[in-house]
Amino acid sequence: MTSKNIVKLLNDQIQKEFYSSYLYLSMTAYFKSVNLDGFANFYFIQAQEEKDHALRIFDYMNQIGAKIVLEKIDAPKVDFESIEEVLKLALEHEQFVTKSIHNIVDVALSEKDHSTYSFLQWFINEQVEEEDTADGNLKKFQLVGNDGRGILMIDAELAQRVYTPPVANN
């Protein structure tokens, strides 16, 4: 039986994942506005993946019969000063999400909620990937600095990212 405490944390996490989607959509809009379509592609796909994360938790909560309470989603930041600001914020945001996931895992462990603990393993691994990717993007950008050709090379690389819809039960 999943405790009220964990049900609340899962509902909060749905909200955080939808907020993440909103934030990355805002970043997409910024990159579109400065004609960096590769960066925009990367963050648009990121926004879709975040929505998928929220729905993954939504599905799990339905499976275990937990009450879903959809929470208010705050407006994300919409004005960005530079590419570097966006890339830093993306990394910091992923670190925030990782902490949030780890907190639910800690609570699930302390309450011996093995189902939720098992369910969250996918998210733990996903966050390792997400932080690594966000960190990689920032470091690559810092390598090229404000060199226009370097930025266009990163933009071309990020244009290659393709959205992969989630597979049920993976």
Name the site residues for ligand FEO (rule: CB under 6 A).
17, 20, 50, 53, 94, 97, 130
Alpha-carbon dihedral sign for residues 169, 95, 128, 85: positive
Q: How far apart are CA 104 and CA 116, in angstroms?
A: 9
Q: To the nearest whole angstrom, how small is the minimum distance from the Cβ of residue 53 to ligand FEO?
A: 4
Q: To the nearest whole angstrom, how small is the minimum distance from the Cβ of residue 23 to ligand FEO?
A: 9
Nearer to ligand FEO, 94 or 113 (CB): 94
Nearest to residue 11, comparing CAs of 74, 63, 66?
66
Nearer to ligand FEO, 6 or 90 (CB): 90
Nearest to residue 66, comparing CAs of 16, 147, 12, 29?
12
Nearer to ligand FEO, 12 or 153 (CB): 12
